[in-house]
Structure 1
Amino acid sequence: MRAQEPAFLHAELNHPGQSPHAAELMARQLKGENAAVRELLLALSVGFALPGPLPADLQRKIDGGEVESLAALVERAEKAGLLTPDGTVVGPAQHALLTVAPTTKVHALQRELVTVYVTDGQPLGDFARELARGGLADQRVAAELEHAADKALEHDPGLACQLYDEALLAGADEIATAARRAQAAAGDGDLDAATRIIDTLLVQEDPPDVRRGVNVAAAVWAQRGMLARGADAFSWLGAARLGPSAPLAAVAMVGCGNRPGADAVFKADAPPASPTLLAAAMTETGKGILESLAGDPHQALPVLIHASDMLNAAGAALPLPDTPAALAALAALNSGEPHLAETVCRAATAAGQGGNAAKPRLYLLQAWSAMQQDKLEDARLSINEASKANHWPLVPRDEFLRAALEVGLARRNGEIPELVMAWERAREAMLHTSVDLYSLLPWGELMITAARLRETRRVAHYLDEAKQLLERLGNPPLWAVPFHWAAAQAALLSESPADLAPHAAALARAAHHSHLAAVLATAGKAWVSVLAGRFQPADVEAAARGLGRVGMPWEGARLAGHAAARAEERKDMVRLLSCARDLHPQGTSTGNGTSGSGETRNAPTAETGNGMQPDGSGLSEREKEVARLVLEGKTYREIGEAIYISPRTAEHHIARMRRRLGAENRSDLLARLRLALSSENPPQE
C-alpha cells in the first residue's frame, strides 16, 4: 500500500477563509453521521488512503463487527456528500474535522500514519515538513528532515535552513545539529543567525562537529571584515583537529599576515585530504595562496584558477574565508590582468560558487575589474547586481568594497561633489572592517582619494597596518606592488617627495622580478618628471601606453593628459593628447584637464587648449557641433551621447562659448549662437 498525500496538506489552501465558527457548523453536521463514519473521515483527512491500512482502532472495530463494514461506511460518506469517489474527503469537511478534533487524537493518527510510511519504506517528503509545522514531535520525522537538510546543505543553504528549523520542531537535537544549521545560515547569507548558533555550539565542553563549526566561524568573521578573528578560530581548533580544513586555515592566516602559522598547519605539497573534487579544490586554494607570497609568484594565478574551476564543477556552497574565485580575481588584478579577473568572477557567479553568500563579493570584484579597464558603466551594473544578489544586506567586507568602488568611480568621473559624498560613505564603511591582505586594493583606492581631498589623516592608521602586514609576509610582490603604486600616486597628489621615495624605491626593487612593477616604476618616474616640468614626451607616452597594457588605461590617459597640459611645444601636446584619447577614448576635458589637486578630471583631447581652430564665427568645429545641439534643445547628457563626449565636457564647451560670445544669459547665448552659425552659412540671394 502507498499512502496518499495527506489531505490536510491542502485543507487550509482550499479554504483559507474558513473560520472556526464555520468549522463548528460543519462539525455539528458531521455529528449527524455515524461515529464510525466520522472516524473514517478523520483518518482520511489526516492522510490514510483507500484501499490500504486504516488506524488500528478503527480496523479492530471493523474486523470485530462492532461497526459496519468498510464498504458500508464509505457508501454512507459518499451519499452524505462528504467523500468523493476517489476517496478524498471534501474540503470543508477536512477543515472541520482537523480543526475540531482534539490535538492529541490528530497527533496519534499522524504517528500511526508515519508508521505506515516507515513500514512501507516510503520517504515522508513534504509530509514530514507539515507534521513538524503542525507541532508533531516524532524522532522519525526529525530524522527524515535532518537527512533532507543534510542533502541540501552544500547546494541549497536556504532550503537547508528551513529543513533544519523544522527538524528542531519535530524534536531534533539542537546541539548535535548546530554546526550544520550554522553552515546553512552562513551559506544563505544570514550572518547574525549563524553567529548565534555557533556561539551556542563552541561554548560546549566537547562540541560535536567542531571542525565544521570553526569553518563557519572563520567564514563569518571574514565576511564581517575581521579575518584575523577567523584565523584565531582555526588556531583555537589546533592543527591536530584541522584535517581537511587546513587549506582554509592557511588562507585566513596568510590574509592576516601570519605566514609561519599557515606553514605550520598546511603544507603546499601535501596531497588532498581525500580523492574528491572538493578536497582537491581546497588543497589547490591553500597552495595557490602560499604561492602568491613567492618572490616570483607566476604560479599562483593558474593554481587559484584551477581551484576555482574545480569548485565550480563541485557546485558546493561551503563556508570559506574567501572563495578561490575571489582570490584568483585578486591575483589577476594585482598582476595587471583585470580582464582575466572579470572572466573568473563571471564563471564563478554563473556556477554559484560559494552560494548566495559569495555572490555579492564576486559581483563587486567583477565591478573592480571593469573599473580598472575603464568600463565604468559595466562597473556600475555589476555593483547593482551585487546589491540585489542576496536577500540580506551586504556584509561589512562587501559594503567596504562597494564603498571603495563608488569612490573610485567618482574619482574617475571627475565629479568633486560626487567624490566627496562617496568618500563620506567610505569613511563610515572603514569603521566596520579591518585591514587584511585581500582588502589592499580598496585601501589603495581610498589612500589616493584621501590624498586628493587632503584627508590622509583619516586613513593613516589603516595604511600603517597595511605596511606592517606586508612586512610580516616579506613584502610579496604580487600584493605589495599595487599597494606601493597606490601610495606613490597618493604622494604625488600630496606633492610629498619624502612620502614618494620609499614606494618608488620599492617599485624599482621589485621591477627585477615583476613586469607590472617595472611598468609602474617607469610610470612613477614619468609622473615625477612631468610634475617637475622636465620630461621627454616620448618617455611619457611610452609610460602611459605601458599602463594601458597592464590594465590601467585610465591611469595612462591621466598621465598623458597631464603631460599634454604642461607641454611647451604644440606638436608634443598633440602627440600626448592623441595618446590620452587612444587610452581613454570616451573621456574629454577642457583647459589643462586637471583639478586643483593635480588630478586629471578626464583624459584631454586634441580639441582642448591650443587645439581649437576657430573660424570667423569664433567657434571651433567641435563647438559648432555643440552649438547646433544646444539650439535643438538638447541637454548636456544628450549632447554628450550625440557626439561621444561626457556631459561635463559639453557643459564646459557651452560655458566657454558663452564667455567668448559675451552672452549674459541663456536666451542671449541662444541668439548669439544662431548668429554665429548663420554667419557660417549665409542665406542665398
Structure 2
Amino acid sequence: MTAAPDLLAPAAGDAADEAEHAARAGDLDTALRTADAALRERSDPDLRARAAEVLAAVLPHRGLLARSAELHRWLARHRHGPAVDGVVALVGTGAPDEAAASLAAPDDDAPGLADAADVLTARGVLASVAGDSATALSLLSTASAALAVCDRPAVRGDTPAGLGALVALHRGEPELAGPLLDRALTLDLGGPAHRRRHLLLRAWCALAAGDGATARALRASAGEAGPDTVEPRDELVAVALDVALARRAGDVRGLLDLWARAREALVNHPVDLYVLLFVGELALAAARLGEQGWVAPHLADGDALLTALGEPALWSTPWRWYGLQYAIATEQPALAEPHATALAAAARVSHQAVAPARAAAAWLRVLAGDVDPDEVTAAATGLRAAGLGWDGSRLAGEAALRTTDRRAASALLACARDLVPGATPADPEADVPVPRAARVVLTDREREVAALVVEGLTYREIGARLFLSAKTVEHHVARLRHRLGSASRSELFSDLRSALGR
C-alpha cells in the first residue's frame, strides 16, 4: 500500500523560499539548516542555486566569509557566469581580480532598483581597495538610498549602509557614517538580521567621534535589538566595542573581565577585510593584558590579507596604526618600524594616512628619547582631526613623561587633556598633576623591588640584592605592572617613579 503524502511538508522547490523567509525574519539557524538541506537536493538545479544564494548571504553573519566566497564561485559556474552579489565576499577574502571580473560580466536581465543597488555596492567595495575611498563612500551611500525604496530586495551578507559606515570609519570620518546608519535603522534596511550590526557600527561612530556616553547608550540598545542569538560577526564587533570603551577609560579590571568573551569572539571569527578594525582593537587589549598569543594568528592573517589586496591605503592605514600601537605596548621596536614605514607609504597616496604617518614617526622618536614638543603637539592634534584624538592624547602624554623640560611637560600634558573630548582645557603653566600611580600604596617588598627596577638593575641583579630568585622578582614586577595599570615598559618605569614619590 502506498503511503499517504505528508501534507505538512513543503512542496518541492519551496525549501529555498522557506530559507529566504527565515533569513529575512532574522532566524538564521533555520535559514542555514533549510538552505543546506535544499542544496543537497541534486534533482533540482534551480532549487540548489537559490538555496546556495541564501547560504552565501547568511554565512558572513557566522564569520564564514571565505565559505560564502566559495559558494559564490560555485554559483558563478552554475549560472554560466559570475554575478555581482559575490563581489563583497571575494574582495573581503583577498580576491579582488575575481571580484572585478564578476562586475565586468554582462547581465542579460533588465536590472531593477535592487539589482542596481547590488551593482553600486560592488563598485563601491572595489573602489575602496582601488584607492578611491571617496567614490567608494558615495557609491555605497547611493546603493543604500536605492534599497530604501526597493520592494523586498534580495537577502545579502551585508548592507551598503554597513559597508559604507566601515569605509567612513576607516577614512577617519565617523560623522559621514552616522546619517547613513541612521537612515538604515529608521527604515530597517536589511531587516532583523542587520539591526544589531547597524546599531553597533553606529556606536563605533560615536566612539570614534569621542562621544563615549552615546556609544554606551547605542551599545546597550544593540544588546536588545535583532534576534536573541548574537551572531559571531556581531559578537566580535560588540566585544571589541566594550573593550574599546574600557581601554579608553583606563579600566584594566574591565578589560580582564571582558577578555574571556574576547578570546571566544576571536576563535569564532576568522579575519576578513571587514573586521580588521575590531581585531585591531582586541589586539591592543591583548597587549595590555599580556595575552598576545591569542591575537598573533589574527595579526598574521590580517597582514597577509592586505598584502593579497595590494595594501589598499583605506583599509591598511587603521590596521597599521593598530599594529604600531601593539608593537609599542609589547615593547617590540623592531615590529613598530615596518608599520611606521607602511603608514609613510600610504601617506604618499592617501591624505587620510598623512596624520597617522606623521604621528608614527613622532612616536618612534619619543620612544628613542627625542622629544620635540612642537612636533609632538602638531602630530597629536593631527590625530584628533583624523578621528584618533584619544591616541593623540596618549602620544602627548607619553612625550610629557619622557621630556626633562618641566615647562614642555606641562604644555604636553595640557595638549593631552585638550585632545580628550569633554576635558577642560588646561593651563600650560599649571603644575603637572599627580599621576594615578602616585596614589597606589606599595608594600615594603614592592618598594624595594621598584626602587631597584628604576635604577635599571636586571631581575638577576635585583634577586642577588634581595636574596630572591630571578623568577620571584619577575613575579613581583608583573604584579606591580598589573596594579599600576602600566601598558608598556616605559610606562612602568614612569609609574614606578611616581609610586615611589620620585
Question: Is the 8 Å Cα contact of residues 410 and 429 (structure 2) preserved in structure 1?
Answer: no
Structure 1 counterpart of 2:71 = 233
Q: Where do 1:569-648 residues align within 5 Å?
A: 569-587=405-423, 610-611=431-432
Q: How many Å apart are 1:242 and its aligned residue? A: 7.3
Say if 1:280 and 1:501 are closer, same or farther in 2 by CA, change over 3 A: same
Please tell me the residue identity of whatever aligns with 2:361.
Answer: K
Structure 1 counterpart of 2:58 = 220
Structure 2 counterpart of 1:194 = 31
Structure 1 counterpart of 2:101 = 264
Q: Specify which of 389, 395, 409 is matched with residue 231 of structure 2.
A: 395
Q: Specify which of 184, 187, 199 is matched with residue 21 of structure 2.
A: 184
Q: Specify which of 253, 275, 280 is matched with residue 444 of structure 1.
A: 280
Q: Distance in 2 between matches of 1:333 and 1:227?
A: 21
Q: Distance in 1 between matches of 2:85 and 2:275?
A: 17
Q: Where do 1:82-121 residues align within 5 Å?
A: none
Q: Distance in 2 between matches of 1:423 and 1:498?
A: 27
Show CA shifts across 1:653-680 (max 9, x none). Answer: xxxxxx9xxxxxxxxxxxxxxxxxxxxx
Q: Distance in 1 between matches of 2:206 and 2:104?
A: 35
Q: Distance in 2 between matches of 1:612 and 1:286?
A: 52
Please tell me the residue identity of whatever aligns with 1:298.
Answer: A
Q: Distance in 2 between matches of 1:440 and 1:481?
A: 11
Q: How many Å apart are 1:409 and its aligned residue? A: 0.9
Q: Where do 1:132-143 residues align within 5 Å?
A: none
Q: How many Å apart are 1:529 and its aligned residue? A: 2.0
Q: Distance in 1 between matches of 2:433 and 2:213?
A: 30
Q: Distance in 2 between matches of 1:279 and 1:489?
A: 42
**Structure 2 residue runs without a partner (length 5+):** 435-484, 486-498
How many residue pairs match? The answer is: 432
Question: Is the 8 Å Cα contact of residues 188 and 356 (structure 1) preserved in structure 2?
Answer: yes
Q: How many Å apart are 1:315 and its aligned residue? A: 5.8
Identity between Structure 1 and Structure 2 (%) = 42
Question: Is the 8 Å Cα contact of residues 188 and 195 (structure 2) preserved in structure 1?
Answer: yes
- Give the structure-2-normalised TM-score: 0.81
- Give the structure-1-normalised TM-score: 0.60
Q: Specify which of 153, 159, 174 is matched with residue 323 of structure 1.
A: 159
Show CA shifts across 1:470-490 (max 9, x none). Answer: 111111111111111110111
Q: Specify which of 132, 135, 138 is matched with residue 302 of structure 1.
A: 138
Q: Specify which of 306, 311, 336 is matched with residue 475 of structure 1.
A: 311
Q: Distance in 2 between matches of 1:582 and 1:274?
A: 56
- Structure 1 residue ranges, 4+ long, deviating more than 6 angstroms after superposition: none
Please tell me the residue identity of whatever aligns with 1:412.
Answer: R
Q: How many Å apart are 1:407 and its aligned residue? A: 1.0
Q: How many Å apart are 1:240 and its aligned residue? A: 5.3
Structure 2 residue matching 1:314: 3-state secondary structure: coil
Question: Is the 8 Å Cα contact of residues 175 and 209 (structure 2) preserved in structure 1?
Answer: yes
Q: Which region of structure 1 is more displaced relative to structure 2, 193-202 or 551-560?
A: 551-560
Please tell me the residue identity of whatever aligns with 2:91.
Answer: V
Please tell me the residue identity of whatever aligns with 1:409.
Answer: L
Say if 1:443 and 1:273 are closer, same or farther in 2 by CA, change over 3 A: farther
Q: Distance in 2 between matches of 1:289 and 1:481?
A: 17
Structure 2 residue matching 1:368: 3-state secondary structure: helix
Q: Aligned-pair RMSD on alpha carbons?
A: 2.6
Please tell me the residue identity of whatever aligns with 2:370.
Answer: R
Structure 2 residue matching 1:313: 3-state secondary structure: coil
Show CA shifts across 1:627-648 (max 9, x none). Answer: xxxxxxxxxxxxxxxxxxxxx9
Structure 2 counterpart of 1:253 = 90
**Structure 1 residue runs without a partner (length 5+):** 1-136, 138-167, 589-603, 614-647, 649-658, 660-685
Structure 2 residue matching 1:378: 3-state secondary structure: helix
Say if 1:370 and 1:199 are closer, same or farther in 2 by CA, change over 3 A: same
Q: Considering Cα pairs closer than 8 Å and 6+ residues apart, tell me whether 1 or 2 has the greater RCO.
A: 2
Say if 1:461 and 1:611 are closer, same or farther in 2 by CA, change over 3 A: closer
Structure 1 residue matching 2:189: 3-state secondary structure: coil
Q: Specify which of 355, 372, 390 is matched with residue 519 of structure 1.
A: 355
Which structure has the larger Rg?
Answer: 1
Q: Distance in 1 between matches of 2:64 and 2:289?
A: 27
